[in-house]
Amino acid sequence: MNLFTERVIRIIQEIPTGYVMTYGQVAAAAGSPRGARQVVRILHSMSEKYRLPWHRVINIKGEISLTGSDQQELLEMEGVRLKNGKVDLTIYRWFPTDAEER
């Protein structure tokens, strides 16, 4: 597994209950600011194996990208409220404090 993938997995595992990160934000924190699509690929292929809280990763608009999934329900169960189908990133976005050390 390459270093970027390891970092993405670790970052996603660390997102606290009740908070979200965007795909691009995860990529940037893992060292590849233009790697949002790679984050999507990692979530798709490794969420189950690494028990990733995939539902806590959303798009830059605060929208849920996975139609037909339980993502909204899972977020709401954790206390994240959506308004007009969007998460208010000013309230629920999480910033890892040690991202630059990864």
Measure the CA–CA gap between 73 and 4, rounded to whole angstroms: 29
CA-based nearest residue to 96, from 30, 23, 18: 30
Q: From first to last of the 102 residues of the chain, give the pLDDT tens digit.
A: 899 999 999 999 999 999 999 999 999 999 999 999 999 999 999 999 999 999 999 999 999 877 667 999 999 999 999 998 899 999 999 998 754 443
Domains of the chain listed by start with CATH number:
3-94 (1.10.10.10)
Long-range contacts from 63-67, C-beta under 8 angstroms, 24+ separation: 63/87, 65/23, 65/40
Token pair, residue 72, equals 């909204």
CA-based nearest residue to 24, from 72, 82, 77, 93: 93
Q: What is the pTM for the complete model shown? A: 0.90
